[in-house]
Amino acid sequence: MKTPIISPSILSADFANLGEEVQDIDAAGADWIHVDVMDGHFVPNLTIGPAVIKALRGHTQKPFDVHLMISPVDRYVEAFVDAGADILTVHGEAGPHLHRTLQLIRSFGIKAGVALNPATPWQSVEPVIHDLDLILVMSVNPGYGGQKFIRSQLDKISALRGLIDGCEVDVTLEVDGGVNAQTAVDVLSAGADALVAGTAVFQGGPECYAGNIEALRGAANAADAAD
């Protein structure tokens, strides 16, 4: 099994020192920086917008993996691109024309992703599989960090792995929600390529970040053993 991409979610970081936190997880070995954008409408929480992402851009060269939990979404795409997003992931339910949204994102030369809520069937991405760079499986209901992993999503991950491989497309399969060193074993065994983790990375403070990230990567070895 290849080494998974680790994308720490800054939703669990110390917001009073967000720039330093991004630098710390970069130095600790993060592959991507996951940014959760919530509007208090599509999901029941408010987080950050393009201005904060732009302010953070100078603190790391790692890709910004931006998850837009907002509706409507199209009118804000360019602002997040200008702020420094490298990947923009949207929800199919956030607008009436998913294909158009994905084309809009890609027109700016960045990667486009679709996020699937726990109740969203995996088959919903089939019509746009050739327009995607990333599929994000939500293994919790979006809106808050620190939730418990929903194990029924493992079947969805496996089905999506089969779809991606069967279509021979270069699409990263990412999982977000309740991911830690234990649940990551099952997630990776099911076929995920990338892990989003907030609490599991940021717990213990900066001196623990490198060890926390390494524990997530180590889940790949445990998954190989389990297989």
pLDDT of the chain, 227 residues: tens digit per residue: 789 999 999 999 999 999 999 999 999 999 999 999 999 999 989 999 999 999 999 999 999 999 999 999 999 999 999 999 999 999 999 999 999 999 999 999 999 999 999 999 999 999 999 999 999 999 999 877 777 999 999 999 999 999 999 999 999 999 999 999 999 999 999 999 999 999 999 999 999 999 999 999 998 877 776 76
Global pTM?
Answer: 0.96
Predicted local distance difference test score (pLDDT) of residue 193: 96
Mean pLDDT (the chain, rounded): 95
How far, in Å, CA of 45 to CA of 103, rounded? 28
**Which amino acids are annotated as binding site for a divalent metal cation, given as ranges?**
34, 36, 67, 176
Instruction: State yes or no: is 14 an active-site residue.
Output: no
Other residues' Cβ atoms within 10 Å of the Cβ of residue 76: 18
Q: What are 44-75's pLDDT values in tens digits? A: 899 999 999 999 999 999 999 999 999 999 99
Q: Which of 31, 65, 131, 176 is catalytic?
A: 176
Predicted local distance difference test score (pLDDT) of residue 227: 66
Q: Tell me the domain boundaries of the chain.
A: 5-226
Q: Please, what sign has the CA dihedral across residues 114, 118, 122, 124?
A: negative
Q: Which residues are registered as beta bridge partners of 5?
A: 194
Predicted local distance difference test score (pLDDT) of residue 50: 98
Predicted local distance difference test score (pLDDT) of residue 146: 73
Q: Which of 36, 39, 186, 193 is catalytic?
A: 36
Q: Are 148 and 180 in contact, with CB atoms under 8 Å apart?
A: no
Pick left, alpha or beta for residue 143 (phi over 0 → left; psi -120 to 50 → alpha; otherwise beta).
left
Superfamily of segment(s) 5-226: Aldolase class I (3.20.20.70)
Question: Per the structure block, which two tokens stand in for 98?
Answer: 């998913």
Instruction: State yes or no: is 176 an active-site residue.
Output: yes
